[in-house]
A = this chain, B = another copy of it.
Amino acid sequence: MADHFADRLLAAIERKRSPVCVGLDPVVDRLPDELRRAAPLAGIETFCREVLQVVAPSVAAVKIQSAYFELHGAGGVDLYFRLVREARELGLIVIGDVKRGDIGSTAEAYAAGHLAGEDAPDAVTVNGYFGSDGVQPFVDAACANGRGVFILVRTSNPSAAALQDVTDTSGKKLFEHVADMVAALGADVTVGQRGYSCVGAVVGATWPDEARALRKIMDRQIFLVPGYGAQGATAADCAASFSSEGAGAIVNASRSVIYAFRDQRYADRPWRDAVGEAAREFAADLAAAVGL
């Protein structure tokens, strides 16, 4: 894992012509019928491993959502880390969606647990509410290990604006202050050969105007863009997070891909085929929107 995280991610996006990431959000009730009958974790494991295999040819990265594994206790956490390894062996960049955040030695412990060692993902998501001294340990651990972080700047949910739009007397909003912090943290570390930092940002696709403003503040950050598909954002909305050269961002979709077999459009297809086809369509939709 010696290469710079941003270089590895951008190379994977180019190689596959696929600026997208599929999110694993496994929920027992939504699994294919044949797997729902298995013991919860066994069904989830089989489902996730097969999803990884069918999406691997067409997507650059996967995002594994820790919450759905923590729900199953220690056994779920064990499976999370085994899937990280499985995804990496398939040549995928792996983002651990853990949204951790804390201060001082506690932040160091989280960073050591989630960004170091061979089982850790290539990058994790981090909540920056604490300010820079809370985020720095994650940045240090990531950059020391050829890994990355994506700091929450603008989340994709409806009530994001309630706090993130608090506006100071100069007209600057909270999420722009967070963006300044992220850009400054990113400037302190070596950027990769392609000009992007290992410190990235989460910017919801559901807020394209905000994304355009953020692209100007954070010109060295890779944006991880949630909100496409099940949350309602289109490929055109997502395009606002990319640079003028169509780089610097990766769009995530979770439910609209991994549960595609529940969609009328794929009703007559075996579930694996539906997931694979949905991943290909998702990648093609985004590649076209950003001119890749």
A12 proximal to B (CB < 8 A): no
Contacting pair B73 A81 (CB below 8 A): yes
A78 → chain B closest CB, angstroms = 4
A100 proximal to B (CB < 8 A): yes
Q: Which of A46-54, A164-172, A241-249, A276-284 contacts B (4 or more CB under 8 A)?
A: A164-172
When distances are taken between beta carbons in the complex, the residues of chain B under 8 Å from A70 are 77, 109-110, 113-114
Q: Which of A13-21, A152-160, A187-195 contacts B (4 or more CB under 8 A)?
A: A152-160
Q: Number of contacting residues on A, CB 8 A?
A: 57
Q: Choose among B73, B129, B166, B178 the residue that contacts A127 (Cβ–Cβ < 8 A).
A: B129
Q: Please, which residue of chain B has its CB at the minimum distance from the CB of A67?
A: B109
A163 proximal to B (CB < 8 A): yes
Beyond the given A70-B113, A74-B81, please list 20 additional residue pairs across the A-B interface where CB-CB is below 8 A. A67-B110, A68-B106, A70-B77, A70-B114, A73-B119, A74-B74, A74-B78, A77-B77, A99-B127, A101-B127, A104-B157, A127-B127, A129-B163, A131-B159, A131-B164, A134-B155, A162-B177, A162-B181, A166-B174, A174-B174
